[in-house]
Structure 1
Amino acid sequence: MKDSIYRGKWLLIIGIIFVAFNLRPAITSVGPLVGFIREDTGVSNSLAGLLTTLPLLAFALISPFAPKIASRFGTERSIFIGLCLLGVGILIRSIGLLFPIYLGTILVGLGIAICNVLLPGLVKQNFPGKVGLLTGSYTFSMAIWAGLAPGLSVPLASTLDLGWQMSLAVWVLLLFTAILIWVPQIQRNKKELIKTKLKTPSASLWSSPIAWQVTFFMGLQSMIYFSLTAWLPEIVHSQGISIATAGWMVSLMQFSGLPANFLIPILADRLPNQKGIALGIGLFCLTGLLGLLSGGNTLVLTVSIILIGIALGAAISHALTLISLRASNHSQASELSGMAQSVGYMLASIGPFILGYLYDLYANWTFPLILLAIVTILFTFAGIGAGRNQYVLQENKEAISTNSL
Structure 2
Amino acid sequence: MTQHTKPAGVLLLLAILLLSLNLRPAIAAIGPLIQSISHDAGVRSVGISLLTTIPVLMMGLGAIYAARIRQALGERGGITAGSALIAVACLMRLWADDRNGLFLSAALVGLGIAVIQALLPGFIKRNFGARTSSVIALYSTGIVAGAAIGSGTASWLEDQLGWLSTLASWSLPAALATVFWLLASLGSQHEGRSNVQAAARSVPFWRIGRCWSLLLFFGIGTGAFMLAMAWISPFYIGLGLGKATAGLLLSVLTVVEALTALWLSFAIGRFPDRRGLLLTSLLLVAAGFLLLIVAPLLAPYFAVSLLGVGIGILFPLSIIVAMDHLKDPTLAGNFTAFVQGGGFIIASLVPLTAGSLRDVFNDLSYIWLLMSIASLGMLVLAVRFSPASYQQFQQDLAELQAGELKPA
Shared fold, TM over 0.5:
yes
| Alpha-carbon distance, 1:314 to partner | 0.8
* Residue identity matched to 1:174: P
The one-letter code sitting in structure 1 at the alignment partner of 2:279 is L
Q: Distance in 2 between matches of 1:396 and 1:382?
A: 19
SS at match of 1:297: coil
| Cα contact 2:286–2:375 (8 A) shared by 1 | yes
Contact 1:275–1:383 (CA<8 Å) still a contact in 2? yes
Structure 1 counterpart of 2:326:
327
Structure 1 position 384, deviation (Å): 3.2
Q: Residues 42 and 99 of structure 2 are in contact (CA less than 8 Å); yes or no, is this contact kept in structure 1?
A: no
CA deviation after TM superposition for structure 1 residue 221, in Å: 1.0
> SS in structure 2 opposite 1:240?
coil
Aligned to 2:101: 100
State TM-score, norm by structure 1: 0.90
CA contact (8 A) 1:272 1:389 kept: no
1-structure distance, mates of 2:244, 2:42: 21
> How far is 1:309 from its partner?
0.4
1:334 is displaced (CA, Å) by 1.3
The whole-number CA distance in structure 1 between the counterparts of 2:401 and 2:196 is: 28
Report the RMSD for the aligned CA atoms in angstroms.
2.7
Alpha-carbon contact 1:136-1:265 (below 8 Å) kept? yes
1:383 maps to amino acid = A
**How far has the Cα of 1:143 moved from its partner?**
2.0
User: Given that residues 75 and 123 in structure 2 are in contact (C-alpha distance below 8 angstroms), is that contact kept between their aligned partners in structure 1?
Assistant: yes
**Counterpart position of 1:264:** 264
Tell me how far 1:177 sits from its aligned partner.
Answer: 1.2
Query: 2:203, 2:401 within 8 Å by CA — same for their partners in 1?
Result: no
Alignment-mate amino acid for residue 247 of structure 1: G
Contact persistence 1:268–1:318 (CA under 8 A): no
Give 1:29's aligned residue: 29
Deviation at 1:329, TM superposition (A): 1.1
Q: Contact conserved, 2:73 with 2:193, CA < 8 A, in 1?
A: no
Rate the CA distance shift 1:396–1:135 in 2: closer, same or farther, 3 A.
closer
Structure 1 distance, partners of 2:190, 2:265, is 30
Query: Structure 2 CA distance, aligned partners of 1:198 and 1:20?
Result: 30
- 3-state DSSP of counterpart to 2:346: helix
- The CA distance in 2 between the partners of 1:179 and 1:198, in whole Å, is 29
Query: CA 1:168 to 1:391, structure 2 compared with 1: closer, same or farther past 3 Å?
Result: farther
- Aligned pairs for 1:113-124 (under 5 A) are 113-124=114-125
Asked if 1:75 is matched to 2:75, the reply is: yes
CA–CA distance in structure 2, aligned partners of residues 350 and 320 of structure 1: 20
**Distance 1:268-1:11 versus aligned 2 partners, 3 A rule:** closer
1:342 aligns with 2:341: yes
Q: Deviations over 1:209-229 (max 9, x none)?
A: 222222111111111111111
Which residue of structure 2 lines up, in the alignment, with residue 309 of structure 1? 308
Q: TM-score, normalised by structure 2?
A: 0.89
CA contact (8 A) 1:198 1:331 kept: no
Q: Which amino acid aligns with 1:10?
A: V
Q: Aligned-pair distance for 1:373?
A: 1.0
State the AA in 2 paired with 1:141: G
Aligned to 1:147: 148
Structure 1 residues 89 and 194 mapped into 2: Cα distance closer, same or farther (>3 Å)?
Answer: closer
- Gap runs ≥5 in structure 1: none
| Alpha carbons 1:140, 1:261 under 8 Å: kept | yes
Alignment of 1:366 with 2:365, yes or no, is yes
Letter in 1 for 2:287: T
Tell whether the 8 Å contact from 2:261 to 2:316 is kept in structure 1 after alignment: yes
Whether the 8 Å contact between 1:53 and 1:353 is mirrored in structure 2 is yes
Distance 2:124 2:166 in 1: 32
Report the equivalent of 2:238.
Answer: 238
The equivalent of 2:66 in structure 1 is 66
For the 8 Å contact 1:256–1:313, the answer to whether it is kept is: yes
Shift of 1:394: 2.5
* Secondary structure of the structure 1 residue equivalent to 2:391: coil
d(CA) in 2 for partners of 1:217, 1:191: 28
Instruction: Please show how residues 247-258 of structure 1 align to structure 2 within 5 Å.
Output: 247-258=247-258
State the partner residue of 1:111. 112
Alignment: residue pair count: 395
CA distance in 2, matches of 1:314, 1:126: 24
Preserved CA contact (<8 Å) 1:120 1:337: yes
- What is the CA-CA distance between 1:64 and the residue it aligns to? 1.5
- Which one-letter code corresponds to 1:94 in the other structure? L
Q: Is the 8 A contact 2:252 2:304 kept in 1?
A: yes
Residue identity matched to 1:395: D
What's the CA shift string for 1:134-184, capped at 9, x where partnerless?
1122222222221111111111112xx411101111111111110110122
For 2:192, what is the secondary structure of its paired residue?
helix
Residues 93, 102 of structure 1: 8 Å contact kept: no
* Preserved contact between residue 203 and residue 393 of structure 1 (Cα < 8 Å): no
Q: Is the 8 A contact 2:284 2:307 kept in 1?
A: yes
The answer to whether the aligner puts 1:227 opposite 2:238 as a matched pair is no
2:383 is paired with a residue whose SS is: helix
Report deviation, 1:69: 1.5
In 2: Cα distance, 1:191 partner to 1:153 partner: 36
**Which deviates further from its counterpart, 106-115 or 207-216?**
207-216
Range with greater deviation from structure 2 (179-188 or 224-233): 179-188
Contact 2:285–2:311 (CA<8 Å) still a contact in 1? Answer: yes
Matches of 2:74 and 2:378, distance apart in 1: 33
User: Structure 1's 198 and 379: CA in aligned 2 closer, same or farther, altered over 3 A?
Assistant: farther
Partner residue, 2:135: 134
Task: Letter of the 1:292 partner, please give it.
Answer: L
CA distance in 2, matches of 1:400, 1:171: 43
**Any stretches of 5+ residues in structure 2 without a counterpart?**
403-408
Aligned to 1:166: 165
* Matching residue of 1:357: 356
Distance 1:198 1:289, change over 3 A: farther
Confirm or deny: 8 A CA contact 1:117 1:334 kept in the other structure. Answer: yes
**Amino acid in the other structure paired with 1:370:** L
Equivalent-residue separation in structure 2 for 1:115 and 1:89 (angstroms): 15
The 1:296–1:90 alpha-carbon spacing in structure 2 relative to 1, beyond 3 Å, is closer
